[in-house]
Amino acid sequence: MKRLIAFFGILCMVVGFAACSTPQTTDIKGTTPNVGNPGDPNAYYFNYKGTDIRLNGDMEVVLNALGEPKNYTEETSCAFEGLDKTYTYDSFVIQTYPKGEKDYVYAFWFLDDLVKTPEGVKIGDTQAAVEAAYGAEGYNGRNAYILKKDTYSMTIIQNDGAVSSIQYTITIG
């Protein structure tokens, strides 16, 4: 029985390492993805308690301003060298990627209507509010607006005519 338990333990470790042994996303040359310019002033962002939280922004600045999150997890990155980290605050989640000795914001999404986009859109808003803020060109005709700027994207998902999710990510490529 001990051998069987040891075998399954080793098998789980091998499968776990294999899942991250190659990057999930690579560019044409097979190198680490280019995620843009850390600190890019053109990146999507939102403001929380006077702090701009920006894609490709320095996570250390966010942590210094907002303090410790409600929840924190980390795991070996499958796309970068180092650890991917996830910080959960009361109304939003931030994911980071490592670059050198620093961590930069890779994605964030809202959890409730207490945070909003710089244009004022929040969870629970109507399709009309989204279109007033962003126009109709990003609408996919079903349930989402997908807006892109450089290597960044913002996705607004709707259910039953109301915003149910707002997500910002860096487009790897």
Give per-residue pLDDT as tens, 108-125: 999 999 999 999 999 999
CB atoms within 10 A of CB 155: 17
Confirm whether 152 is domain-assigned. Answer: yes
The domain in which residue 93 lies consists of 35-170
Confirm whether 91 is domain-assigned. Answer: yes
Please give the torsion angle defined by the CA atoms of residues 86, 66, 148 and 42, in that order, rounded to the nearest 10 degrees.
-130
What pTM does this model have?
0.78
SS (H, E, C) 72-126: EEEEECCCCCCEEEEEECCCEEEEEEEECCEEEEEEEEECCCCCCCCCCCCCCCE
Give per-residue pLDDT as tens, 58-99: 999 999 999 999 999 999 988 888 899 999 999 999 999 998
DSSP letter for 34, please.
P
Confirm whether 24 is domain-assigned. Answer: no
Confirm whether 47 is domain-assigned. Answer: yes
